[in-house]
Structure 1
Amino acid sequence: MIGVSHLRTTLESVVLSSIMKLDRSSMDKLFDLMIMMVKYQLTAATGPREVILIILNHVDAIRDMVSDLNAQKCVTLVQEMVLDFYSCLTFEQIWSARECCLKELESYHVRVSILLRRGLQNEDASFNISPQGYNEKYTEHRNTLRMMKIKDVSPETCCGGSFDTFGDRKTLLGKNIYLPTYGVTGTGRRDSQQFFKDCGAKAELGMLAVQLGTEETNYERPFTLNLLSNVDDENVNNTNKEIDAEGNKAKPGSNAGSNEKPKLNEDYKTKLDNVYADFFEDEQQETLKRSMDLLDLLDEIE
């Protein structure tokens, strides 16, 4: 098994392959978050079969991120490689691999706010393992199953959980805990054709967002500028009826003042100046917001 230092080098290469660049402090937070989430998932696993289901949940998350057909085939190939390797191992071999990973991560004690909020972690950074609806009870059946291979045991014997490409994994471990739908059960089996249709729809919506110049789904108008309001028209009409500069009232139909230059509306000028200044301010704020978005997704790590 590779060491954590080599693992970090690999993960940093993955992170830096995107357009987002992180400083050392942000990279440390991201790495600690990933380590603690993996440590929690392995700690909460109730049996060897659930360890495989955790990996498949990770693969499913990758599949949901891509819509390209070739990329989908690559993700499916990864899943097949995982199943080909782990299915031939015994229950005890997989459980021993889990224990080796936890021993390697034993020195990491970081408090993650989302785990604290959900009651899954204590203030001392230890985990509060609570039932998640899936319980293999491997410790109770260890003597019976330890020397059996995963592929030779019926899923119903180990609390279910499908190894199929679009199957129901049953366990929440390995799913995105930041999603608002986390913990919602009863999703059932996903249909492959419907999944690819959804991916195509997401790709088309993304292309439309690029063409419109924004990738945000909910666009809010930053300001409203009304240059031709009814109130202003009434003010203009009232102004034409006012006393002229010589103190004489203008006669109806008179062309007095028709050759004069229109007066500059100071209110509109102030509005336009503010809008012009907001363009630069919004651009600076947007730049700052983009640099902070990733940290917001990481949540607070204490």
Structure 2
Amino acid sequence: MSQRTLPLLFFNLGGEMLYILHQRLHAQNVVTGKTARVMQDMVKTMFREQSLEELFKPQPIPSRKGLQMLLQGVAHSSIMRLSNTAMDKLYDLISMAFKYQLMVCPRPEDIVLVTLNHLDSIKSLVADDSQHCHDMIHTACRKLNEHYSLLSKAEFVTLRNTMLSLFQDSQKRISVLMRQKLQHQNGAFVIPIDGPIPVGFEIPGTIRYYSEEGEVVQTDHFPTAHHYTPPCKQGSWETTGDRVTTLGLNIYEKDSPGARPRQQRSVSEERCGRTRGTGGSSRMKETREDTQEDVSTAVGNVELTLLHRLLVSPQTDKETTFKLNLFPDLKLDGGGTGSPGDESASGRETSERNRGNVLHLETNKKGTEDLNRIREDFTTADTEQHAADEEDLLDLLDQATA
């Protein structure tokens, strides 16, 4: 089953990446035509026919570096360019978002519904008149249904566990989740214990007694420690339909259903930090780096390289290419620092930058204040200045509107 994980990883992580890049383009009020071009270029790269054919071939689960390489190829398929440092931080953010979705899925097979939510949301990011992009995404939905519809429950359990093992050591704190009380300060996720039960299950609290003929002769009920409600309806796996779950929707949009706080009670912070934390033992962490690079076999690496080549778009005209610096505080490729004017434009707030390894993303402010807060989401404890050959996010997006 580990050879069937790549489509799920690529679509879900790619969807989270597109959410963030789209949000940043709109935060600076970039001209609609420019934003549409960037999004369409990336969507066409993700869902082109040759890429899908290679993506759905059985192959070993890639390493984290291999996945990041594929996603970077998508991001660079448009006129934008991200530094390696920016891509590292962006990958941390999207991997934690997907890890949360994996952990709170009611059933392992619901990860397909989460993936379809990502594909549906990606359609909304491209212009309505881009029918070609919509058709490509519909093709991906059909392939996804065909690829996973015949798997058993046990196979889905294996798929889910395999993907979780890939992110086992990822324990970054995400401000979007923390504000909604979906993540603790120690990086552990809040796992709901009340609310609707999964489809196909009964509410706990019933004891049935059977006769020798297999008929129910008596039924008793007992109180449970938690409040459970009947299951919701089964989500649709079709190209279009009601997925039921909100997992996988764009949580960076204001008032998005995917960003609403949970109403269920959850595991206590002490228990969550002890038994449901995202990190492992110190011994596990010491050996993780040694074993991670061995996950993909030689054949898998060859196939991943081929897929990466398919994702790389033709050379873009250098006159229309610009670098998108998502993390102005970090030293960029090529060395050097930005000018004082660049620092002023980006709104330095040094007192706010030494806040540990929390990745922040603000979406409720307007204009420059909103963009400055978003920029702080990707800060690190090591505050460094801009590279001389790369402008900050405000200036770059101003150029994109020209």
TM-score between the two structures when normalised by the length of structure 1: 0.54
Post-superposition offset of 1:91: 1.4
Q: CA deviation at 1:112?
A: 0.8
Contact 2:171 2:188 (C-alpha < 8 Å) held by counterparts: yes
Does 2:274 align with 1:181? no
- Where 1:173 maps in the other structure, the secondary structure is coil
| 2:275 aligned partner | none
For 2:376 and 2:237, locate their aligned partners in 1 and report how far apart those are by CA, in whole Å. Answer: 29
Deviation >6 Å, runs of 4+? 137-141
Secondary structure in 2 matching 1:129: coil
CA separation in 2, counterparts of 1:22 and 1:99?
Answer: 31
From 112, 115, 122, give the equivalent of 1:52: 112
**Cα distance in 2, alignment partners of residues 102 and 177 from structure 1:** 21
- Cα pair distance change 1:13/1:22, threshold 3 Å: same
Question: Which residue matches 2:66?
Answer: 6
**Offset, 1:87:** 0.6
Aligned partner (choices 233, 244, 257) of residue 170 of structure 1: 244
The residue identity in structure 2 corresponding to 1:53 is L
Report the counterpart of residue 183 of structure 2 in structure 1.
121
Q: CA deviation at 1:132?
A: 9.3
Q: Which residue of 1 aligns with 2:147?
A: 85
Once the 2 structures are TM-superposed, how far is the Cα of residue 92 of structure 1 from its aligned partner? 1.4
- 1:38 maps to which residue? 98
Q: Percent identity?
A: 30
Distance 1:31 1:9, change over 3 A: same
Name the CA shift for 1:39/1:70 in 2 (closer, same or farther; >3 Å): same
Query: How far has the Cα of 1:136 moved from its partner?
Result: 1.6
Residues 106 and 197 of structure 2 are in contact (CA less than 8 Å); yes or no, is this contact kept in structure 1? yes
Q: Distance in 2 between matches of 1:42 and 1:57?
A: 13
- Candidates 228, 234, 237, aligned match of 1:160: 234
Structure 2 CA distance for partners of 1:184 and 1:117, relative to 1, 3 Å: closer
Which sections of structure 1, spanning at least 5 residues, go unmatched?
142-155, 186-280
Distance 2:108 2:122 in 1: 22
Q: 1:61 aligns with which of 121, 125, 129?
A: 121
In the TM superposition, what are the counterparts of 1:244-263 in structure 2 within 5 Å? Answer: none
Alignment root-mean-square deviation, CA: 3.6
Mark the CA change 1:162 to 1:184 in structure 2 (over 3 Å): closer, same or farther.
same
Q: Deviations over 1:140-176 (max 9, x none)?
A: 89xxxxxxxxxxxxxx987421223331111111111
Which residue number in structure 1 is paired with residue 165 of structure 2? 103
Distance change (3 Å), C-alpha of 1:168 and 1:297: farther
- Give the structure with higher Rg (CA): 1
- One-letter code aligned to 1:136: P
CA deviation string 1:67-88 (max 9, x = no partner): 3112111110000000011111
How far apart, in 1, do the equivalents of 2:231 and 2:169 lie?
Answer: 35
Cα distance in 1 for partners of 2:96, 2:200 equals 23
Which of the pair is proportionally richer in helix? 1
Are 1:176 and 1:182, in contact at CA under 8 Å, matched by a contact in 2? yes
Write the distance in 2 (CA, Å) between the matches of 1:72 and 1:34.
Answer: 23
Aligned-pair CA distance for 1:181 = 2.4
Separation in structure 2 between the aligned mates of residue 82 and residue 294 of structure 1, nearest angstrom? 38
Higher strand share: 2
Alpha-carbon deviations, 1:116-140, whole Å to 9, x = none?
1111111111111236966426798
Q: Which residue does the alignment assign to 1:261?
A: none
2:149, 2:105 → 1: CA distance? Answer: 17
Contact 2:99 2:164 in 1 (8 A): yes
Which of 353, 356, 377 is the matching residue for 1:299? 377
SS at match of 2:248: coil
1:184-199 aligned within 5 A: none
1:19 has 2:93 as partner: no
Letter in 1 for 2:101: Q
Question: Per-residue deviation at 1:65?
Answer: 2.0
- The code of the aligned residue for 1:54 comes to V
Distance of 1:53 and 1:294 partners within structure 2: 34
Call closer, same or farther: CA 1:119–1:107 in 2, change over 3 Å. same
The letter for the 2-side match of 1:175 is L
Q: Does 1:29 align with 2:89?
A: yes
Q: CA deviation at 1:49?
A: 3.2
Unaligned runs of 5+ in 2: 1-60, 204-229, 260-340, 349-366, 381-402
| 1:180–1:37 CA distance, 2 compared to 1 (3 A) | same
**Residues 137 and 102 (structure 1), Cα distance of their counterparts in 2 relative to 1, 3 Å cut:** farther
Q: Tell me the amino acid that sits aligned with residue 177 of structure 1.
A: I
| Contact kept in structure 1, 2:248 and 2:258, CA below 8 Å | no
Once residues 102 and 46 of structure 1 are traced to their aligned partners in structure 2, the CA distance between those partners, rounded to angstroms, is 15
Contact 1:112/1:300, CA 8 A, preserved across alignment: no
C-alpha contact (below 8 Å) 2:199/2:231 kept by paired residues: no
